[in-house]
Amino acid sequence: MKSFFRRIRDAEFLPMSEVRKIKTILVMIFLAIMTALTIPFSIFFLDYSPGMKILFLVVFLVAFGLITLMVTLNRIVPSIQFSILYTIGLTLLFSNGTDEFYAYLFFFISLAVIVFYQELYAFLIYGTLVTGLGIYYILTHQASLVMTPDIPGVIIIHILVLVLFYFVFLVQILYNEKLYTDMNFDWVKMNQVIDKYQEDIFLFLDEIRREQKDPLIHEDLEYQKLVKELSTFVSQQIKESGKDGQALFELYLYMHERSLVKILDNEEISPQLKKTATRLNKYLLNRRTELVSLITNFYCRFRKTDNYLPDRYEYKLNQLTDHNDEQVIALANLYQYLSHEIAGPDEWDQMSRILSPEEIDTLFMGPDADEFLTPTQIAFYRDNQDLFREYLGKK
């Protein structure tokens, strides 16, 4: 029980599958309490024969046992569906067995359980079904729901409250879905834009490490200590024994020395271990992985930059200055930089070579030059192309 409450406390650090499992267990606890209360309640208030009451009780106990079995087997999605159907079954049991006001409240309880899972399709299907059944129940049990029939519009109020409850949480779930979708889209879009830069950053950092003769990342004792502590933390959240965490730690370090391809090709390694290795592959630090991208993005996002300047990202030379002579000097500086600094990709698409004079000509006079230079500046470069090469080009 202590471990379970610790997992609830640290749910924001757990994967979505574990969060769904925790939600299912909490719903099961709630359903167990409701079922336990239903047994004595049904004896006196539900309008069913004793045989039907026993049959309903047996059906609910079997259904509860089935949900427990699916959670134990880690079949979370089916267990969510069955728990929602179980709640709807309790609602139908009370709504058909009594005319009291609390049967009406069970429709809100069912909607609350469905909302708790925060699953859009489940809410659209089961939430709409429960709301429709609730409206039908209100229309067919008006006499028992209305305590003061003299007040006009009481039935309409009951219906509006139920419908409003449904639509408020529908909007909330749709907003969460849009938020998660936008975040995922921004992450994918950002990765596509900076993917090449991250590859270069990783290669340069690796080259710096080699020049400084620093140890390999997976051989660093501080890094191994950190990974061991993290594996222990994770195993305590999702496992009952620390042995799995130790095995996970050893496999993770081993994968830094052996690539995933070699592990998958090794016939002596079990299929389960290969599956675990595939999941761990994106967390390696000695190659370009998702974890490296996450660390790079996080570091760059919180890195301090210069204060905002209106012309900080101005690329048109004529916008930097109004003087023609200064524009010519800027054009010459740009040519000199491109002819001396590494600015071109090699045959492996790595930024490791200097542009040739022909490539620089293409940049200055090509179709994209209008984004940076004015027609006058392009014509000036074309007329003085030989002078640029002779005095500013690399010898």
pLDDT digits (tens, 9 = 90+) for 347-390: 666 677 788 888 888 889 888 888 888 889 999 999 998 899 88
Question: 227 or 128: which carries more pLDDT confidence?
Answer: 128
- Using CA atoms, how far apart are residues 245 and 251, in angstroms rounded to an integer? 10
| Closest listed residue to residue 34, CA positions, set 53, 65, 60 | 60
- Tens of pLDDT, residue by residue over 234-254, are 666 555 555 666 777 777 778
Q: What is the pLDDT of residue 380?
A: 92
pLDDT higher than threshold 80 for residue 76: yes
pLDDT at 231 over 80: no
User: By percentage, how much of the chain surpasses pLDDT 90?
Assistant: 5
**Whole-number pLDDT of residue 164:** 92
Q: At residue 123, does pLDDT exceed 80?
A: yes
* Domain range annotation of the chain: 2-181, 217-301, 317-392
Q: What is the pLDDT of residue 250?
A: 77
At a CB cut-off of 8 Å and minimum separation 6, what does 362 contact?
none
Q: What is the mean pLDDT of residues 17-36?
A: 83
Given this model, what pLDDT does residue 145 score?
65
When pLDDT is cut at 50, 70 and 90, the band that residue 150 belongs to is low
Confidence check: pLDDT of 13 > 60: no
d(CA 198, CA 295): 10
Mean pLDDT confidence for 124-128? 90
In the numeric block, which tokens belong to residue 275? 């599956």
Q: pLDDT band for position 233 (50/70/90)?
A: low
Q: Is 374 within 8 Å of 317 (Cβ atoms)?
A: yes
Name the packing angle between helices 16-44 and 101-117 (round to 10°).
170
Average pLDDT over the chain, rounded to an integer: 78
**Which CB contacts under 8 angstroms, 24+ apart, belong to 289-297?**
292/198, 292/202, 293/191, 293/195, 293/198, 296/198, 296/201, 296/202, 297/190, 297/194
The pLDDT score that the predictor gives to residue 292 is 74
The span from the CA of 189 to the CA of 13, in Å, is 24
CA 21 to each of CA 14, 72, 80, 238: distance values in angstroms, whole numbers, following the listed order:
11, 10, 9, 11
CB count within 10 Å of CB 106 equals: 21
DSSP for 3-68 reads HHHHHHHTGGGS-HHHHHHHHHHHHHHHHHHHHHHHHHHHHHS--S-HHHHHHHHHHHHHHHHHHH
Contact between 381 and 388 (Cβ < 8 Å)? yes
Residue 348, burial from CB neighbour count under 10 angstroms (0-12, 13-18, 19+): exposed
pLDDT of residue 167: 92
